[in-house]
Amino acid sequence: MTKHNILTPGVFVNTVIFQLINEELSVLLTQREDEPYKERWALPGGPVPLDESTQIAASRIINNKTGIQIKQLGFLEQLYTFDSIKNDPGVPAVSVVYMGLGKSITPKATSHNRNAQFYPLDQIPTLAFDHNNMIEYAHQRLKSKLYYTNAIFALLPKMFTLSQLQTVYETVMEDKFDKRNFRKKILSFNLINATDEQHMEGAHRPARLYKFNKHELEYLTRSFE
Amino acid sequence: MTKHNILTPGVFVNTVIFQLINEELSVLLTQREDEPYKERWALPGGPVPLDESTQIAASRIINNKTGIQIKQLGFLEQLYTFDSIKNDPGVPAVSVVYMGLGKSITPKATSHNRNAQFYPLDQIPTLAFDHNNMIEYAHQRLKSKLYYTNAIFALLPKMFTLSQLQTVYETVMEDKFDKRNFRKKILSFNLINATDEQHMEGAHRPARLYKFNKHELEYLTRSFE
DNA sequence: ACAAAAGTGTTAAGAATACACCCATGT
DNA sequence: ACATGGGTGTATTCTTAACACTTTTGT
């Protein structure tokens, strides 16, 4: 006898993987192969088998459907659990959604999937289920995480210029900052160190390259902006 | 044909309801009636039926097991979804945990439950499943919510003194504040208004009573402390 | 020489911190 | 009159915000 004897919803995971592409915040989507919503774009996801935790299932499914390894992501954390919406086709379900951040990752076609690609946030089509909501929720969460953590490291390459860093903040937070104040503040957090390398590009003064001194999530000593 | 054909874990909800009792942060627990962990104290919870959302199930279960109405709580929000731990008895499951805040609420014995009571955080016994972890997680979340929201309103009575308010902050945040600075800051947030009533008690000067001007969750304009 | 992005400093206003005494009441 | 908790102000430091010009490079 198990501890319950009533039927409960199915358990699924979905993942919202963000990456910057051409200075645009983009989300990894896959095209569904099966009904319901066959052919529709959707967040990578699937059912959670009995012998996997939701996080393990999320990692495996990302890899199966997009060829992306979890190690390529700066982090992956649980975002929220969504109930299936009223008029959705399919069985009643909950979807445990994970959010991840990465950089320079490219989905590969796999045996389980025809199509996987990053879509810029403002070009996302109408997705299966309530996946559009999930993305919006994830974007909000990401914004707030940038206020009180160093999460941004996961979106940037190993070395970057201060201007690039500022642009990433501005893109994700959908805001603009003063260049001098931004530099003063970001340096005061001691998250990044100057290297003695420079980035030369275009007909202008070269920019000094910086790198993060931590590559794990940490809380900031005070909030950003 | 449904959209999946593999078995997934069972879906449960649990709730962490906080309340202050004698200036101690306390959590609502119920004593289990069934195996596994029969007789053990646990967070109120149960399986989610197919026709309920997790939030509705959480509300119903709190009411069934403790006699508390959801309307008595200042708020109830989803906290985190826990996978059942490896060596737990019972079927594989996920537990969607909700956190709620209340004041002056008293559990009533109901037909579904023998025992429900608030335990101060530092007197909580070893609970069923990993419910002790869930409480710790909820306490952390509550602390951070006090930094950036007005959530504290949900723990205080309609009218309160500034000293009471400070004590509540100190209790939940496990910290101490300077009285003058605390008052300056809390007033600068415009969350509370002075009333012209006073609280007289004990052999000392009576204290002015204040009330919150909002009773819904809001974000603070800057962070507290 | 010019265009383009990199880099840099000061001032003013607001917020946080540290800190000590008087006030109103009951006994 | 004394014990108890309520109530109040100032000075210092730190943080934020506003703001404009010089530097280095490629063409």
Of B180, B67, B59, B61, nearest to B115 by C-alpha is: B67
Strand-strand pairing, B10-21 and A160-161? unpaired
Cα separation, B190 vs B210, in Å, equals: 12
The answer to the question of residue B3 being in a domain is no
Distances (CA, A) of B155 to B100, B122, B171, B210: 10, 18, 11, 14
Q: What is the pLDDT of residue A48?
A: 97
Read off the pLDDT of each residue in B201-221 and give the average, rounded to a whole number.
Answer: 96
Read off the pLDDT of each residue in B198-221 and give the average, rounded to a whole number.
Answer: 96
B122 and B197 part of one domain: no
> How deeply is B157 buried, as exposed, middle or buried, from its count of CB atoms within 10 A (0-12, 13-18, 19+)?
exposed
Residue A102: pLDDT above 90? yes
A48, A52, A58, A64: CA torsion to nearest 10:
-90
Residue B5: pLDDT above 80? no
- Which of the pair, B70 or B90, is modelled with greater confidence? B70
Read off the pLDDT of each residue in A145-158 and give the average, rounded to a whole number.
Answer: 97
Percentage of chain A beyond pLDDT 90 is 88
A85 and A155 part of one domain: no
Instruction: Determine, for residues B47 and A11 on separate chains, whether the beta-carbon distance falls below 8 Å.
Output: no
Confidence label for B1 from pLDDT (cuts 50, 70 and 90): very low
A89 and A180 part of one domain: no
Residue B80: pLDDT above 80? yes
The answer to the question of residue A178 being in a domain is yes
Read off the pLDDT of each residue in B198-212 and give the average, rounded to a whole number.
Answer: 97
A21 and A63 part of one domain: yes
Per-residue pLDDT tens over the stretch A42-59: 999 999 999 999 999 999
Three-class HEC string of chain B: CCCCCCCCCEEEEEEEEEEEECCEEEEEEEECCCCCCCCCEECCEEECCCCCCHHHHHHHHHHHHHCCCHHHEEEEEEEEEEECCCCCCCCCEEEEEEEEEECCCCCCCECCECCEEEEEHHHCCCCCCCHHHHHHHHHHHHHHHHHHECHHHHHCCCCEEHHHHHHHHHHHHCCCCCHHHHHHHHHHCCCEEEEEEEECCCCCCCEEEEEECCCCCCECCCCCC
Percentage of chain B beyond pLDDT 90 is 88
How many other C-beta atoms lie within 10 A of the C-beta of residue A121? 16
Confidence label for B89 from pLDDT (cuts 50, 70 and 90): confident
Q: What is the pLDDT of residue A117?
A: 95
- Measured between beta carbons, which residues in chain A are less than 8 angstroms from residue B223? 223
- B184: domain CATH number is 1.10.10.10
Q: Which residues, in sequence order, are CB contacts of B184 under 8 Å at separation 6+?
A: none
The answer to the question of residue A161 being in a domain is yes
Q: Does residue A157 sit at the B interface (CB-CB below 8 Å)?
A: no
Instruction: Choose one of B99, B121, B142: the last residue of a domain.
Output: B142
A109 and A165 part of one domain: no
CA of A163 to C1' of C9 (A): 19
Q: Which nucleotide is nearest to A221 (CA to C1')?
A: D15
Three-class HEC string of A134-202: HHHHHHHHHHHHHHHECHHHHHCCCCEEHHHHHHHHHHHHCCCCCHHHHHHHHHHCCCEEEEEEEECCC
Per-residue pLDDT tens over the stretch A173-189: 999 999 999 999 999 99
The answer to the question of residue B223 being in a domain is no
- Residue in A with minimal Cα distance to B221: A225
Q: What is the pLDDT of residue A4?
A: 56
Q: Which residues, in sequence order, are CB contacts of A180 under 8 Å at separation 6+?
A: none
> Which of residues 160-199 of B have CB within 7 Å of strand C?
178-181, 184-185, 188
The answer to the question of residue B219 being in a domain is no
Q: What is the pLDDT of residue A113?
A: 60
Read off the pLDDT of each residue in B194-223 and give the average, rounded to a whole number.
Answer: 96
Q: Which residues, in sequence order, are CB contacts of B57 under 8 Å at separation 6+?
A: B13, B46, B47, B48, B49
Q: Which domain holds residue A176?
A: 151-212
How many other C-beta atoms lie within 10 A of the C-beta of residue B224? 18
Of A8, A35, A133, nearest to A80 by C-alpha is: A133
CB contacts < 8 Å between A and B, how many? 93
A187 and A155 part of one domain: yes
B52 and B160 part of one domain: no
- A64: domain CATH number is 3.90.79.10
Judge contact between A158 and A211, C-beta under 8 A: yes
The answer to the question of residue A197 being in a domain is yes
Q: What is the pLDDT of residue A181?
A: 98
B50 and B81 part of one domain: yes
Of A112-126, A195-209, B110-124, B153-167, minimum mean pLDDT range: B110-124
Q: How many helices (H) and strands (E) in chain A?
A: 4, 10
Q: What is the pLDDT of residue B2?
A: 44
How many domains does chain A contain in total?
2
The answer to the question of residue B225 being in a domain is no
Read off the pLDDT of each residue in B212-223 and give the average, rounded to a whole number.
Answer: 95
Confidence label for B34 from pLDDT (cuts 50, 70 and 90): confident
Q: What is the pLDDT of residue A108?
A: 84
Judge contact between B4 and A47, C-beta under 8 A: yes
A97 and A163 part of one domain: no
B72 and B26 part of one domain: yes
Cα separation, A101 vs A17, in Å, equals: 6
Q: What is the pLDDT of residue B27?
A: 98
Instruction: Calculate the average pLDDT of chain A.
Output: 94
The answer to the question of residue B1 being in a domain is no
Which among B1, B11, B51 has the least Cβ separation from residue A94? B11
Judge contact between B187 and B194, C-beta under 8 A: no
Of the spans A63-67, B35-39, B209-213, which averages the highest pLDDT?
A: B209-213
Mutate to test the interface with B, among A1, A3, A59, A81 (most CBs of B within 10 A): A3
Read off the pLDDT of each residue in B185-207 and give the average, rounded to a whole number.
Answer: 96
Read off the pTM. 0.94
A199 and A109 part of one domain: no
Residue B129: pLDDT above 90? yes
Q: What is the pLDDT of residue A1?
A: 37
Read off the pLDDT of each residue in B195-210 and give the average, rounded to a whole number.
Answer: 97
B25 and B108 part of one domain: yes
